[in-house]
C-alpha cells in the first residue's frame, strides 16, 4: 500500500490502521494472532480456567479432610491432588493471570499500540498453555506429580519417585515458565521505551511501576528454579549427582534454589495485585494517590527485600541460628515498605471522597484479609514460633490469607473495574455483590478455623488425621465453607460472562478514571490509539479532557500508516521524549510453530527418545532463524516521518532500540541463571570433605591456559568486526565475525578435551557433575554466540546491516562479550579455585 493509492481522509486513515493491526479472520486468525489485546485476554481466560481446575482439586482435598478416616481419596491420589493444586495455582493461575492483566493493560496505560515484541507474547502464551496441558497429561501416564509443589529431594529423586511423575513436573513447569520469562523481557522494554511522549518516569502510572519491578523480580527470581529443575532433571535422566549425599551431593541445595525463587514468587504474585489496588484507590477516592514518590520507593524496596527472605521457609532444616536470624530480620523489614503502601492507600481514601462500587468492595475485602495474612506472616517470621507451627495447617491458613487476600481479591476488583473496557458493558451491582459476600464469608470460614487446627497440631499434606486431635468439627466447617467459596467464585465468573453477553452498555470511562487506558475507544480497536497521545500529568484524563478525543483523531503522531506496517513510537527511557519508530511483527504462525516444536522436543525427552529430541533442535533452529530474519522491518528506511515535519530513526538505527534492551534484560536473566549454577558449585564445595574428590584429578595447566587465551582473543576480534562495520567496511565486519566464531569453537574443543582427561564421567561425583554442567552451560552460550555471528554475517551479506543500521552487529558484539566474560568466570571457577582452596 503506498501513499498514492489511497485518498488521505480521516476515514481512510482509520480503515488503514484497522487493516494493518487486526488479526486475520476466523480460526486461523486466532492461531496466528500476536496483538497484545488478544494475547492478554487469552492469558486471563486461560488463567481462570486453571483456577477452576485447581479449585476442583482443592474441593476433593477438603472432602477428604472433612472428617477423620474419610475415603474420598486414597493417600496416593491425595498426594497427587495436593501437589497439583499448589502447582496449578502458583504456576498456571497466579503468575500467568497477572502477566495477562499486565500485557492487556500496560500498552493502553502507557499510550502505545502494542508491546514491542508481540511474537514473544504469543510464544509465551502457547508455551504456558502447552506446559499446563503437558503437566496435566501426567494423569494419563501413570500418575501425576505427588512430591509436593516444592518437589523436595530426595523424595523427588529417581530412587523415591521412580516413573515419570516428577519429570512431568520439572519439564512441564519449566515449559510454562517460558511465558514468565518472555513477559518479563517484554514488559520491561515496553515500560522503559514505549511510554507516550511526556510520560516521564516521575509521572508514570503506579501500575507500570509495580509491573516494572515485578518483571525485574521475575528476571532474577525465576532462574534459580529453572536451574534447579534442570539440575534435578539431568540427575534423574542421566544419573548426574547434585542432590544425592552418597555421591557428594546435598539435598539442601535444592531447597535453597527452590526458595530463592519461591519467596520472591510470593511478591511476584502480590506486587501486580498491589498495582491494581494503587490504580483503583485513586479512582474511587476521586483524587490523586497520596505520596507517589513514597509508593514508588516502597515498590523498589519490596522488590529487593523479597529476595532476602528465602530461608524463612527453611527455619526448621537445621541451619545455624545466626544465619536464620538474617532472614528473620529481613522478613520483618518487609513490613516497612508494605506499611508505606498501606498507609498511602488509607491516606488517599481518607482525604478523598470514596465511592463504594463493586471493585471498591473487593478492595475492602482485600484490606481485611491481607492484613490478617500479613500479621500471621510476622508471627511466622519469628524463628521459635515457626518451629512450633511448621508444616501445620497454621501455615496453610497464613498462605491462603496472603495469596487469596493479596491476589484474588484485587484480581476480582480489577476484573470488575476493567470489564467495561474489555466488553463495553457494565457489571450488574446486585449479582456481583452476592458473589463478593459468598467469596468473602466462604473464604474466612474456610481458612480462619485452620489457624486453630494448625495450632492444635493438624499437619499439612497428610491425607487424614486422628479423631483424638479434636479438630474434626473445625475441619467439617472448613469443608462446608470451602464449598460456599467455590460457589461464590463460580457466581462471579457467571456474572462476568453474563455481563459480557447481556450487560447494560456503559459510557466511556464509566468510573471517571484518570489513566490513559480509558482514553481507548470501546470496543477496543486493535491499534488502541489512532494518534499516539501526548501527556502532561500523572492523570491525563483528569487534567486534560480532550486527550481521548485527540488520540482518536487521525492527525497526530503515527496516525498515517502509509507504509502498511505496525508502528510504535519509541521514547526516551526517563524523559519519554520521542526517539524512534519501532516496527513490529504482523500476525504470524511462527510463535505457535515454535511452541509446538519445543513441546515435541520435550515430549521426546520425557519419553527418553533422546536422539529424536536432539533432532527436534533442527526445526527449532530453523524457526528461530525465520523469526529473527523477519524481526522488525528489514526493508525499513533509516528514518520515518511520524507527523508532518517530524522525522525519527527506525529501530535498527536507534541507540535505544528495543532489541538492545531485550538483550540487556535477557542477559540479566541469563546472568542470574549462571549465578545459580556457580552458587551450586560453591555450595557443594562447602559441604565436601575433598575438592576435587579422589575420583578426579587437577590435571596440567597447559591446555586449559591455551584454550582460555583463544577465548579471550575472540573478544577483540568481535570488537574489531563491530568497529569495521561502523566505519563502512562490511567485508571486515564479516571476517571479524567469522574469526571470533572460529576462536570460540576452538576454545570449546580444547577445553572439552582438557576436562575429559581430568574430571572423569559426570556420574561419578557431584564435583564432576557440577564441573561438566558449568562447562556445558557456557558451551551452549558460546554456540549460541557462534549462531548469532553467522546470522549477522548473513544479514550483512544480504545488505540489511550497514554503518547506520548497526543494531544487529551491536547485539552480536555485546552478547559475545558477555559469553566470553561468562567463560572466563566459569574457567576460573573450574581451574583456579580448587587449586587455591586446597
User: What is the three-state SS of 202-269?
Assistant: HHCCHHHHHHHHHHHHHHHHHHHHHHHHHHHHHHHHHCCCCCCHHHCCCHHHHHHHHHHHHHHHHHHH
In the complex, the smallest distance separating the C-beta of residue 815 from other proteins, rounded to whole angstroms, is 20
Q: How far apart are CA 308 and CA 330, in angstroms?
A: 6
Which residues are CB-contacts of 558 (< 8 A; sequence separation ≥ 6)? 113, 531, 532, 567, 568, 569, 581, 642, 643
> Which H/E stretch holds residue 717?
helix 702-726
The grid cell for 622 is 530453523
Which residues are CB-contacts of 497 (< 8 A; sequence separation ≥ 6)? none
Residue 770 burial (CB count, 10 A): 28
Q: Which residue has the cell 558460546?
A: 782
Q: Which residue in 761, 760, 781 sits closest to 825, CA to CA?
A: 781
Of the pair 491, 535, the CB lying nearest other proteins is at: 535
In the complex, the smallest distance separating the C-beta of residue 410 from other proteins, rounded to whole angstroms, is 24
Of the pair 209, 243, the CB lying nearest other proteins is at: 209
Q: How far is CA 452 from CA 85, 387, 393, 416, 733, in A?
A: 23, 16, 8, 34, 70
In the complex, the smallest distance separating the C-beta of residue 686 from other proteins, rounded to whole angstroms, is 6
DSSP state of 608: T
Of the pair 160, 326, the CB lying nearest other proteins is at: 326
Of the pair 320, 384, the CB lying nearest other proteins is at: 320
Of the pair 307, 800, the CB lying nearest other proteins is at: 307
Write out the DSSP string of 121-171. HHHHHHHHHHHHHHHHGGGGTT----STTTT-TTTTSTTTS-SSHHHHHHH
Give ∠ CA 395-242-689 in degrees, rounded to 5.
105
In the complex, the smallest distance separating the C-beta of residue 365 from other proteins, rounded to whole angstroms, is 29
Of the pair 136, 292, the CB lying nearest other proteins is at: 292
In the complex, the smallest distance separating the C-beta of residue 261 from other proteins, rounded to whole angstroms, is 16
Of the pair 301, 620, the CB lying nearest other proteins is at: 301
| Residue 70 buriedness (CB in 10 A; 0-12 / 13-18 / 19+) | middle
Q: How far apart are CA 172 and CA 400, in angstroms?
A: 24
Of the pair 324, 408, the CB lying nearest other proteins is at: 324
DSSP state of 650: B
Of the pair 203, 460, the CB lying nearest other proteins is at: 203
Strands (E), 327-445: 425-426
> Which H/E stretch holds residue 5?
none
In the complex, the smallest distance separating the C-beta of residue 623 from other proteins, rounded to whole angstroms, is 34
In the complex, the smallest distance separating the C-beta of residue 208 from other proteins, rounded to whole angstroms, is 13
> Which H/E stretch holds residue 323?
helix 321-333
In the complex, the smallest distance separating the C-beta of residue 438 from other proteins, rounded to whole angstroms, is 40
In the complex, the smallest distance separating the C-beta of residue 206 from other proteins, rounded to whole angstroms, is 13
3-class secondary-structure state, position 749: helix
In the complex, the smallest distance separating the C-beta of residue 629 from other proteins, rounded to whole angstroms, is 32
Asked if 620 and 613 touch (Cβ cutoff 8 Å), the reply is no
User: What is the three-state SS of 539-576?
Assistant: CHHHHCCCHHHHHHCCCCECCCCCCCCEEEEEECCCCC
What residues are paired with 586 via a beta bridge?
none
Of the pair 201, 431, the CB lying nearest other proteins is at: 201
Of the pair 335, 445, the CB lying nearest other proteins is at: 335
Of the pair 320, 644, the CB lying nearest other proteins is at: 320
In the complex, the smallest distance separating the C-beta of residue 297 from other proteins, rounded to whole angstroms, is 4
Of the pair 333, 469, the CB lying nearest other proteins is at: 333
In the complex, the smallest distance separating the C-beta of residue 188 from other proteins, rounded to whole angstroms, is 11
What residues are paired with 392 via a beta bridge?
459
Write out the DSSP string of 672-714. HHHHHHHHHHHHHHHT-SSSS-TTS----SHHHHHHHHHHHHH
Asked if 699 and 756 touch (Cβ cutoff 8 Å), the reply is no
In the complex, the smallest distance separating the C-beta of residue 665 from other proteins, rounded to whole angstroms, is 13
Of the pair 166, 213, the CB lying nearest other proteins is at: 213
3-class secondary-structure state, position 532: strand
Of the pair 191, 266, the CB lying nearest other proteins is at: 191
| Residue 122 buriedness (CB in 10 A; 0-12 / 13-18 / 19+) | buried
Strands (E), 438-597: 504-505, 566-571, 578-584
In the complex, the smallest distance separating the C-beta of residue 191 from other proteins, rounded to whole angstroms, is 11
Which residues are CB-contacts of 645 (< 8 A; sequence separation ≥ 6)? none
In the complex, the smallest distance separating the C-beta of residue 677 from other proteins, rounded to whole angstroms, is 16
Of the pair 318, 694, the CB lying nearest other proteins is at: 318
In the complex, the smallest distance separating the C-beta of residue 157 from other proteins, rounded to whole angstroms, is 24
Of the pair 200, 671, the CB lying nearest other proteins is at: 200
Phi-psi region of 331 (alpha: psi -120 to 50; beta: other; left: phi over 0): alpha
The grid cell for 473 is 468439627
| Residue 154 buriedness (CB in 10 A; 0-12 / 13-18 / 19+) | middle
Q: How far apart are CA 718 and CA 780, in angstroms?
A: 18
Write out the residues near other proteins by the rule CB under 8 A. 192, 198, 200-202, 292-294, 296-297, 300-301, 303-305, 307-308, 320-323, 325-326, 328-330, 332-333, 336-337, 573-575, 686
In the complex, the smallest distance separating the C-beta of residue 308 from other proteins, rounded to whole angstroms, is 5
Amino acid at each position: 500500500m503506498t501513499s498514492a493509492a489511497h485518498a488521505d481522509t480521516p476515514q481512510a486513515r482509520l480503515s488503514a490502521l484497522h487493516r494493518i493491526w487486526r488479526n486475520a479472520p476466523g480460526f486461523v486468525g486466532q492461531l496466528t494472532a500476536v496483538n497484545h489485546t488478544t494475547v492478554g485476554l487469552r492469558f486471563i481466560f486461560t488463567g481462570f480456567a486453571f483456577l477452576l481446575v485447581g479449585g476442583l482439586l482443592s474441593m476433593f482435598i477438603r472432602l477428604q479432610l472433612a472428617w477423620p478416616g474419610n475415603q474420598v481419596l486414597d493417600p496416593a491420589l491425595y498426594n497427587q491432588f495436593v501437589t497439583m493444586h499448589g502447582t496449578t495455582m502458583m504456576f498456571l493461575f497466579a503468575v500467568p493471570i497477572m502477566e495477562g492483566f499486565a500485557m492487556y493493560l500496560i500498552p493502553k496505560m502507557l499510550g502505545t499500540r502494542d508491546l514491542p515484541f508481540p511474537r514473544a507474547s504469543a510464544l509465551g502464551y502457547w508455551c504456558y498453555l502447552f506446559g499446563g496441558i503437558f503437566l496435566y497429561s501426567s494423569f494419563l501416564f501413570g500418575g501425576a506429580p505427588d512430591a509436593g509443589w516444592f518437589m523436595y529431594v530426595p523424595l523427588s529423586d529417581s530412587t523415591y519417585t521412580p516413573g515419570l511423575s516428577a519429570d512431568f513436573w520439572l519439564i512441564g513447569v519449566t515449559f510454562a515458565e517460558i511465558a514468565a520469562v518472555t513477559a518479563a523481557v517484554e514488559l520491561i522494554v515496553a515500560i522503559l521505551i514505549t511510554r507516550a511522549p511526556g510520560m516521564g518516569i516521575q509521572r508514570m502510572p503506579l501500575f507500570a511501576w509495580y509491573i516494572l519491578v515485578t518483571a525485574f523480580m521475575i528476571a532474577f527470581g525465576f532462574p534459580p528454579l529453572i536451574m534447579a529443575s534442570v539440575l534435578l532433571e539431568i540427575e534423574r535422566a542421566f544419573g548426574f549427582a547434585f542432590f544425592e549425599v552418597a555421591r557428594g551431593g546435598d539435598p539442601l541445595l535444592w531447597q535453597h534454589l527452590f526458595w530463592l525463587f519461591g519467596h520472591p514468587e510470593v511478591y511476584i504474585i502480590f506486587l501486580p495485585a498491589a498495582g491494581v489496588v494503587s490504580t483503583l484507590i485513586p479512582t474511587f477516592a476521586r483524587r490523586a494517590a497520596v505520596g507517589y514518590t513514597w509508593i514508588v520507593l516502597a515498590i523498589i524496596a519490596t522488590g529487593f527485600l523479597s529476595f532476602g527472605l528465602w530461608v524463612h521457609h527453611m527455619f526448621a532444616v537445621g541451619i545455624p541460628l545466626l544465619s536464620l536470624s538474617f532472614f528473620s530480620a529481613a522478613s520483618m523489614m518487609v513490613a516497612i515498605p508494605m506499611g508505606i503502601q498501606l498507609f498511602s492507600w488509607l491516606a488517599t481514601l481518607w482525604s478523598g471522597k470514596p465511592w463504594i462500587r463493586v471493585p471498591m468492595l473487593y478492595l475492602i475485602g482485600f484490606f481485611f484479609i491481607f492484613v490478617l495474612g500479613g500479621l500471621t506472616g510476622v508471627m511466622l517470621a519469628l524463628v521459635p514460633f515457626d518451629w512450633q507451627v511448621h508444616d501445620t495447617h497454621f501455615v496453610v491458613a497464613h498462605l491462603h490469607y496472603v495469596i487469596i487476600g493479596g491476589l484474588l481479591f484485587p484480581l476480582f476488583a480489577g476484573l470488575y473495574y476493567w470489564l467495561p473496557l474489555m466488553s463495553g458493558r457494565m457489571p450488574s451491582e446486585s449479582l456481583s455483590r452476592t458473589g463478593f459476600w459468598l467469596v468473602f464469608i466462604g473464604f474466612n470460614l474456610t481458612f480462619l478455623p485452620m489457624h486453630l487446627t494448625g495450632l492444635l497440631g493438624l499437619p499439612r499434606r497428610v491425607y487424614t488425621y486422628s479423631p483424638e486431635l479434636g479438630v474434626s468439627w473445625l475441619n467439617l466447617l472448613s469443608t462446608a465453607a470451602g464449598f460456599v467459596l467455590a460457589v461464590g467464585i463460580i457466581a462471579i465468573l457467571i456474572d462476568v460472562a453474563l455481563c459480557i453477553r447481556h450487560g447494560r452498555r456503559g459510557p466511556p470511562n464509566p468510573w471517571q478514571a484518570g489513566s490513559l487506558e480509558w482514553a481507548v475507544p470501546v470496543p477496543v480497536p486493535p491499534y488502541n490509539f489512532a494518534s499516539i497521545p501526548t501527556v502532561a500529568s500523572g492523570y491525563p484524563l483528569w487534567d486534560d479532557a480532550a486527550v481521548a478525543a485527540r488520540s482518536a483523531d487521525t492527525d497526530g503522531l503515527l496516525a498515517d500508516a502509509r507504509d502498511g506496517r505496525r508502528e510504535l513510537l519509541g521514547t526516551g527511557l526517563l524523559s519519554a521524549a520521542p526517539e524512534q519508530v519501532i516496527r513490529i511483527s504482523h500476525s504470524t504462525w511462527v510463535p505457535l510453530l515454535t511452541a509446538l516444536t519445543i513441546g515435541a522436543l520435550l515430549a521426546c525427552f520425557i519419553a527418553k527418545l533422546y536422539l529424536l529430541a536432539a533432532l527436534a533442535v533442527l526445526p527449532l533452529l530453523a524457526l528461530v532463524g525465520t523469526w529473527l530474519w523477519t524481526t522488525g522491518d528489514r526493508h525499513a528506511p533509516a528514518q520515518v516521518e511520524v507527523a508532518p515535519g517530524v522525522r525519527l530513526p527506525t529501530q535498527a538505527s536507534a541507540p535505544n532500540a528495543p532489541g538492545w534492551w531485550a538483550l540487556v534484560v535477557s542477559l540479566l536473566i541469563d546472568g542470574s541463571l549462571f549465578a545459580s549454577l556457580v552458587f551450586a558449585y560453591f555450595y557443594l564445595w562447602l559441604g565436601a570433605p575433598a575438592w576435587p574428590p579422589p575420583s578426579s584429578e587437577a590435571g596440567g595447566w597447559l591446555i586449559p591456559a591455551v584454550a582460555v587465551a583463544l577465548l579471550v582473543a575472540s573478544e577483540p576480534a568481535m570488537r574489531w568486526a563491530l568497529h569495521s562495520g561502523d566505519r563502512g567496511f562490511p567485508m571486515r565486519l564479516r571476517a571479524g565475525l567469522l574469526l571470533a566464531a572460529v576462536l570460540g569453537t576452538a576454545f570449546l574443543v580444547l577445553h572439552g578435551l582438557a576436562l575429559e582427561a581430568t574430571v572423569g564421567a559426570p556420574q561419578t561425583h557431584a564435583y564432576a557433575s557440577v564441573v561438566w554442567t558449568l562447562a556445558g552451560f557456557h558451551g551452549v552460550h558460546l554456540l549460541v554466540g557462534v549462531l548469532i555471528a553467522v546470522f549477522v554475517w548473513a544479514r550483512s551479506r544480504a545488505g540489511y546491516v550497514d554503518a547506520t543500521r548497526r543494531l544487529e552487529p551491536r547485539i552480536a558484539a555485546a552478547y559475545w562479550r558477555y559469553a566470553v566474560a561468562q567463560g572466563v568466570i566459569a574457567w576460573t571457577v573450574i581451574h583456579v579455585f580448587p587449586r587455591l582452596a586446597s
